[in-house]
Structure 1
Amino acid sequence: MNDRLSQATASDAHGGSWAHAPERSNALALRLMRWIAVGCGRRVSRWVLHPITLYFMLFAPGPRRHAKRYLGRALGRPARWRDAYRLVFNFTATILDRVYLLRERMDLFDVQVHSEALVDATLAEGRGAFLLGAHMGSFEVLRAVGRDRAGLRIAMVMYPDNARLINAALRAIAPASRPEIIALGRSDSMLAVRDWLDGGGLAGILGDRALPGESARGNGIRVDFLGREAVFSDGPFRLAALLRRRVIFMVGLYLGGNRYDVRFESLADFRERPANGAERERLIREAVRAYASRLEAHCRAHPYNWFNFHDFWHEDPTP
């Protein structure tokens, strides 16, 4: 359960590089949490989240500092200790809910879906599309909604090693519901994405993490985000432009208790080939800015949903 929190703590000791953070998870704790979640039910299991959250608040000063920086900007006031606690608790709650969503226990949740007509129209085209999200709310609830819609297939395009242990634990809970993952960083990654899209599938990417070294190399796009310049990766949009696909913004907001709000919004359309390279670059830059703008709007409206525990704005002194 505390796998990704441990990664955030470790990343603080590695200069904030989320992609290179080693896993420091306690396998026994994960097995215990799995047993409690399955054996005791969701209501009892949620009480266990409080000691997990408290542990993180007491013993992860770096990620706690980063979370409070973000919350101060999203809330428009200095973040308090209880603000950070609420953010961490919401994060652990969405991870716990993955157990039940993977086991297809949709009866436990109240999920509202907005703008599904956009997804239906995309599916009707038969060419697939990119779903671009963020580390906000729950991606698993999006997959769960997809299981109830005929023809909707979603694969996550990601670096799989960062969440190896917790994904293994979740697969053990629900072996018949293994997440579809297309691994990045391999020689055939782009071909795998293309084939998935050609088959009418949707490819989900989380776009709120600049890849290691992008900022230092001057890659990515610098935009104003919550009042301070930040670097956003243009990689997802370059891939969409190369494969000539539509990009849809997605988010599964956690509203507390058992409530989730799933939203889809049109973000960019690269289906038509641009006139020249300069036009393609302009469209990519516009798409990155549009993505950052939508993410910022959701951060302000739902500040306890963006699970950022690393040095997003690169404010910590370089060791």
Structure 2
Amino acid sequence: MKDKHWSNIAEAGAVSGIRFLFAVYQLFGRLPFRVCLYPVILYYFLFRKSAREASLEYLWHMRGQGRLQSRQSLLLQSYRHFMNFGESMLDKLAVWQGDITLDALEFHNHEVFDNLVQQGKGCVMVGSHLGNLEICRALAKRNTNVTFNVLMHTAHAIRFNEMLTRANSEAHVNVIQVSSISPATAIVLQQKIEAGEFLVIAGDRSPASGQGNVSEVSFLGELCHMPQGPFILAAILRCPVLTIFCLRRAGEGKPFYDLYIDYFADRIVLPRREREMALQQTLQRWADLLADYCEKAPLQWFNFYSFWYRQSTNSHSEKSADQ
């Protein structure tokens, strides 16, 4: 049976479940939240077979590339992968509520970002499902004159945005549901760029509309598809492109994050005759950068669906779970 596209798979944290866990956190704090989290994550780990196999496949690739240093079994690593995802759900909401402050962040290469703000230039910031993309809330707090627009695909965006607004109605961050970039949408986004606003979009999931707008790249030693959308959008908007990664430091207790902002391009240029080649080269650069950051925090890439061409997750899981 053909795997479902990621956009048709319910996220492991349903909105109702997130609400319950967030209520526990608000009433009792982080420790009781974690107590409740363990059985919830164990349930998903045991009964969400496709997500577990996708996790094992990813970890198998990481180990095969020498990017996973732990010698624990992949099965145990996979459970820890799930637990990291659970912790990230709380951190997403805690950031918006203001519980994770600037003191809990170390900015790397922030000069790149600050220069654009000082010039009043908007840009496209390409993020991923590695770490906590919602940390741009902290950037908005650090730069109160900057507005961030987070582009999300799924209908979950509407409900999640409502939760975030209730957590902090004063945040300078808009969550925009975008299934595809129509001419009307492009005009609206162009106006935001011209106003000096920032567009944040994930660059590690194939488009929900199908496999058409993707480039074939090598990622962690095997071919896969990466979405062209963020970079085509940047080319249309003729604006700078930055990448953003926010990784949680290992350790117990109150979370601490490293926020990395890297310059990717002043503009994405796609010559008409060499468009596909230019896109492929751009996407390969992006895939290589993503792999490097995955090595910094291997258990924080939260894509729990089959990512590579080869449909051999079962063989990976059975052969490698105990390695």
**Which residue is 2:321 aligned to?**
none
Q: 1:22 to 1:86 in 2, by over 3 A?
A: closer
Asked if residue 268 in structure 1 is aligned to residue 262 in structure 2, the reply is: no
Asked if residue 315 in structure 1 is aligned to residue 303 in structure 2, the reply is: no
Name the amino acid aligned to 1:263.
Answer: Y
Asked if residue 302 in structure 1 is aligned to residue 302 in structure 2, the reply is: no
| Distance in 2, Cα, partners of 1:160 & 1:177 | 21
Name the amino acid aligned to 1:32.
Answer: F
Asked if residue 71 in structure 1 is aligned to residue 68 in structure 2, the reply is: no
RMSD: 2.6
In structure 1, which of residues 232, 235, 240 is the aligned counterpart of residue 234 of structure 2?
A: 240
TM-score by length of 2: 0.84
Q: Please give the per-residue CA displacement for 1:105-153, whole angstroms capped at 9, x wherever unaligned.
A: 2349621110000001122332311100110100122222331224332
Q: Any conservation in 1 of the 2:12–2:44 contact (CA below 8 Å)?
A: no
In structure 2, which of residues 200, 204, 207 is the aligned counterpart of residue 204 of structure 1?
A: 200
| Distance in 1, Cα, partners of 2:197 & 2:135 | 17
Question: Percent identity of the aligned residues?
Answer: 25
In structure 2, which of residues 112, 119, 130 is the aligned counterpart of residue 118 of structure 1?
A: 112
**Which residue is 2:39 aligned to?**
51
User: Structure 1 residues 28-37 or 63-72, which shifts more?
Assistant: 28-37
Q: 1:122 to 1:52 in 2, by over 3 A?
A: same
Structure 1 residue ranges without an equivalent (≥5): 1-12
| Distance in 2, Cα, partners of 1:19 & 1:126 | 35
Name the amino acid aligned to 2:146.
Answer: L
Other structure's SS at 1:16 match:
coil
**Which residue is 2:283 aligned to?**
288
Q: Any conservation in 2 of the 1:210–1:232 contact (CA below 8 Å)?
A: yes
Structure 2 residue ranges without an equivalent (≥5): 313-323
Q: Any conservation in 1 of the 2:102–2:138 contact (CA below 8 Å)?
A: no
Count of aligned positions: 301
Other structure's SS at 1:278 match:
coil
Q: Any conservation in 1 of the 2:203–2:227 contact (CA below 8 Å)?
A: yes
**Which residue is 1:95 aligned to?**
89
User: Structure 1 residues 301-310 or 71-80, which shifts more?
Assistant: 71-80
TM-score by length of 1: 0.85
| Distance in 2, Cα, partners of 1:24 & 1:110 | 27
Q: 1:25 to 1:116 in 2, by over 3 A?
A: closer
Q: Please give the per-residue CA displacement for 1:157-185, whole angstroms capped at 9, x wherever unaligned.
A: 12241344444334333344484023323
Q: 1:280 to 1:108 in 2, by over 3 A?
A: closer
Asked if residue 158 in structure 1 is aligned to residue 152 in structure 2, the reply is: yes
Name the amino acid aligned to 1:85.
Answer: Y
Q: Any conservation in 1 of the 2:147–2:172 contact (CA below 8 Å)?
A: no
| Distance in 1, Cα, partners of 2:15 & 2:234 | 38
Other structure's SS at 2:305 match:
coil
